[in-house]
Amino acid sequence: MSITFYYGSGSPFAWKVWLALEHKELPYDTKLLSFQAGDLKKPEYLAMNPRAQVPVIVDGDLQLFEASAIVEYLDDRYPGRPVIGRDPMQRAIGRRIAAEVDAYLFQPSRRLFAQTLFVPPGTGNPEEIAAARGEIDKELARFDAYTTGGYLVGDGPTVADYALYPMLALIRRVEVRAPGQGVTLPPKLEAFSRTIEALPHFAKTIPPHWKN
């Protein structure tokens, strides 16, 4: 029986889980949900996740939401090709970096996205955009300091990479969709992004609406 993966196109948290599923080479089916159509508010989805967020996985009798919990479960349930790592120190550092992404980089990024990606062009609040960009710049400097070339922890991709990359990709997308309102990634984070994009399983996880 394969896993069923419910996701929304462009969600960084769903993207993290998708990268983990591909990394682990697990059989799974995808269910693409539409934010615009209100799929996350439908009763059948709320029965799986009452918080109306993505992602969700269904694996046998288990229905699980929250991306970090899902990644932990996948490694516990299917220990081959671990995403979190085998070495205790690397596991701890990887978890910490992933938690930093969720707690500190996502919040200002979400405010920037709300004023650039999710409104008609040119209608975002300039003061809110500037404030969000300033906070993002500070956070990117921290993550840039973690980057020494290659992957963030060890010699292969881990949950740290799969948590950070989707946020960086969305930050870069702001400049594509709203020129002049985005944030330029530091050079080492640009190189890190290219490292993740070169993974053989990366292309399958690109948000569908980005391919058009």
pLDDT tens-place string over residues 109-132: 999 999 999 999 889 999 999 999
Which part of the chain is CATH 1.20.1050.10?
Answer: 88-197
Task: Give mean pLDDT, residues 170-174.
Answer: 96
Task: For residue 155, give both structure tokens.
Answer: 């010699």
> If one looks up domain 88-197 in CATH, what number appears?
1.20.1050.10
Inter-helix orientation angle 88-100/159-177, to 10°:
30
The per-residue pLDDT for 165 is 99
Sheet strands (E) in the chain: 3-8, 28-33, 56-59, 62-65
Q: Other CB atoms closer than 10 Å to residue 105's CB: what's the count?
A: 23
Delimit the CATH 3.40.30.10 region(s) of the chain.
3-83
9's CB contacts (< 8 A; 6+ apart) are: 32, 207, 208, 209, 210
Average pLDDT over residues 39-68: 98
Query: Which pLDDT score, from 0 to 100, does residue 64 have?
Result: 99
Cis peptide before 43 (omega within 30 of 0): no
Q: Which CATH architecture has domain 3-83?
A: 3-Layer(aba) Sandwich (3.40)
pLDDT tens-digit series, residues 81-120 = 999 988 999 999 999 999 999 999 999 999 999 999 999 9
